Structure 1
Amino acid sequence: MTLNERLDQYIFDEGIAVEEIPLFYYNGFYDYESDWACPVITLNSNIASERQRAAIKGHELGHHFTLSADLFFAPYLVKSRDEYRADRWAAEYYMPVKRLIELYEQGCRTPLDMAEQLEIPVEYLYKGLGIYYRKYGLYEDFGQYRIFWNPFNIKKDRRRRK
Structure 2
Amino acid sequence: MLNDLLDEEIKNIGVTLKTCAFKNDFNALTVDDTIILSNKLKDTAERNSVKAHELGHQYTCPVNLLELEPELQRRFEYLADRWATLKVMPLEKLVSAFRRGIRLRDEFCDFLEISEPFFRRGLDVYSSIYGQRTQYKNYTLSFDPFNIEEL
- The TM tier, using the shorter chain, reads over 0.9
Is 1:84 aligned to 2:78, yes or no? yes
Please name the residue that 2:27 is paired with: 27
Q: Secondary structure at 1:54's aligned position in 2?
A: helix
Report how many aligned residue pairs link the two structures.
150
Please name the residue that 1:9 is paired with: 8
Q: Which runs of 4+ in 1 moved over 4 A?
A: none
Distance in 1 of aligned mates of 2:122 and 2:42: 22
Identity of paired residues, percent? Answer: 29
Shift of 1:43: 0.7
Shift of 1:72: 1.3
Provide the aligned C-alpha RMSD in A: 0.9
Amino acid at match of 2:59: F
Q: Structure 1: 5+ residue runs without aligned partners?
A: 33-38, 158-162
Amino acid at match of 1:91: T
Distance in 2 of aligned mates of 1:129 and 1:46: 25
Please name the residue that 1:121 is paired with: 115
Amino acid at match of 1:5: D
Please name the residue that 2:132 is paired with: 138
TM-score by length of 2: 0.96
Please name the residue that 2:48 is paired with: 54
Higher helix share: 2
Structure with larger Rg: 1
Superposed, 1:84-123 pairs within 5 Å as: 84-123=78-117
Amino acid at match of 1:60: E
